[in-house]
Amino acid sequence: MKRCNTITELRRTLREWKQNHPGGSIGFVPTMGFLHEGHESLIRRAADEHQLIVVSIFVNPLQFGPNEDFERYPRDPERDAKLAEKAGTDILFMPSVEEMYPRPVLTKVMISGLTDKLCGASRPGHFDGVGTVVSKLFHLVQPDAAYFGQKDAQQVAVIERMVEDLNIPVKIVACPIVREPDGLAMSSRNVYLSPEERTQAVALYQSLQQAEQWFADPDLTAGEIRQRMSELIRRSPLAEIDYVEILTFPDLEDSRQDIPLGDLPPGFRYIAALAVKFGATRLIDNRIYTVKGR
Ligand code: AMP
């Protein structure tokens, strides 16, 4: 595995590889590091499908709000490098903030509509930061495909739309959520949780699991299921709900909240998306449900 800390080095390495591997395809996994099995699953999938695997580790200040955790976001580059290599990474790109943003950023990628709900509503400017850094990374790496986790479902939708709107020649691959044995979605932020918060954090998964049964009931509506999920999460005393939403999937529309599920066309899909704070730690999770009809 080759490590590149600068854009010049990354470009030189990619150019040489392309010269030696005409027609070879590149798979790319952008991350913020502090890697876990969720990241690993993306890298392994990319390695199954492409000849050259590029992973980036960059904690992007542009996507953090002023009162968010940019400074204390967990970082462990040496451990990350070992894990990335083991999972099949060929090039690990780890630029500094100065390398990525040598001057104040005057050009941003802003994705509207899709970003005014869920995490976009709770974290103003977050998706402009994501869109900007991901498009920069796509220009630098020029991959054939890029791998993202379905855990950040809105991020996947936003990136897919950006790539379509701007005709960026990259295939976006969404990968399943990897979980801890008790169901908590893996996240670099899980290390912030106190033992008590960690125990109660499983409430997100439990409500998504429980909702499977509710979504099988043709007489319930999305709005009613949303209420029930919120109530279930509130039973954990340390949980503070940021949002519990049920939106149509893949459009992420806040419609069809009051229609009994049995009256929807079979195969209709909803996504339940959750953001819940435990102390200062904000966790997200989601699941997609297919309506079965009566
Ligand atoms: P992050 O480093 O948190 O920005 O995540 C980098 C990529 O890994 C994003 O595409 C995430 O959606 C994905 N990812 C993070 N956690 C998981 C998980 N538990 N399962 C699958 N993918 C994940």
Given strand 239-248, what is the order of strands in its sheet? 239-248, 269-278, 281-290
Residues 152 and 209 in one domain: no
Residues 9 and 148 in one domain: yes
Residues 231 and 254 in one domain: yes
The last residue of a domain, from among 146, 175, 204: 175
Residues contacting ligand 1 via CB (< 6 Å): 31-32, 38-39, 41-42, 148-149, 151-152, 175, 177-178, 185-188
| Residue 13 included in any domain | yes
DSSP 3-state assignment of 116? coil
Span 13-58, pLDDT tens digits: 999 999 999 999 999 999 999 999 999 999 999 999 999 999 999 9
User: Quick one: angle between helices 7-20 and 126-141, nearest 10?
Assistant: 40
Q: Is 0.95 topped by the overall pTM? A: yes
pLDDT of 294 above 90: no
Could you tell which of 152, 156, 205, 281 is best to mutate to test the pocket of ligand 1, judged by most ligand atoms within 8 Å of the CB?
Answer: 152
Distance of alpha carbon 84 from alpha carbon 174, whole angstroms = 19
Pairing of strands 239-248, 269-278: antiparallel
Return phi, psi of residue 219, to 5°: -90, -15
Residue 284 pLDDT class (50, 70, 90 cuts): very high
**The domain spanning residue 222 has which CATH number?**
3.30.1300.10
Span 105-138, pLDDT tens digits: 999 999 999 999 999 999 999 999 999 999 999 9
Span 192-219, pLDDT tens digits: 999 999 999 999 999 999 999 999 999 9
Residues of the chain above pLDDT 90, percent: 99
| Residue 184 included in any domain | no
pLDDT of 293 above 90: no
Return the residue matching tokens 């953001």: 275
Return the residue matching tokens 């195969």: 267
Distance of alpha carbon 31 from alpha carbon 35, whole angstroms = 8
| Residue 183 included in any domain | no
Beta carbons within 8 Å of 27's beta carbon, 6+ residues apart: 46, 47, 49, 50, 52, 53, 54, 143, 144, 145, 146, 147
Which of 18, 26, 22, 51 shows the shortest CA–CA distance to 169? 26
**The domain spanning residue 111 has which CATH number?**
3.40.50.620
Residues 145 and 282 in one domain: no
Q: How many domains does the chain have?
A: 2
CA of 262 to the centre of ligand 1 (A): 34
Of the candidates 21, 36, 39, 50, the residue annotated as catalytic is 39
Span 244-276, pLDDT tens digits: 999 999 999 999 999 999 999 999 999 999 999
| Residue 225 included in any domain | yes
Residues 143 and 209 in one domain: no
| Residue 269 included in any domain | yes
Residues 81 and 222 in one domain: no
pLDDT of 190 above 90: yes
Residues 155 and 235 in one domain: no
- Locate the DSSP E strands across 213-291: 239-248, 269-278, 281-290
Span 55-97, pLDDT tens digits: 999 999 999 999 999 999 999 999 999 999 999 999 999 999 9
Residues 15 and 152 in one domain: yes
Which of ligand 1's atoms lies nearest the C-alpha of 42? Answer: 22
What amino acid occupies position 58?
F
Is 139 among the catalytic positions? no
Residues 267 and 201 in one domain: yes
Which of ligand 1's atoms lies nearest the C-alpha of 57? Answer: 2
Would you state the structure tokens that stand for residue 201, as one six-digit string?
A: 């954090």
Half-sphere exposure of 283 (CA within 13 A, CB side): 29
Domain extent at residue 149: 2-175
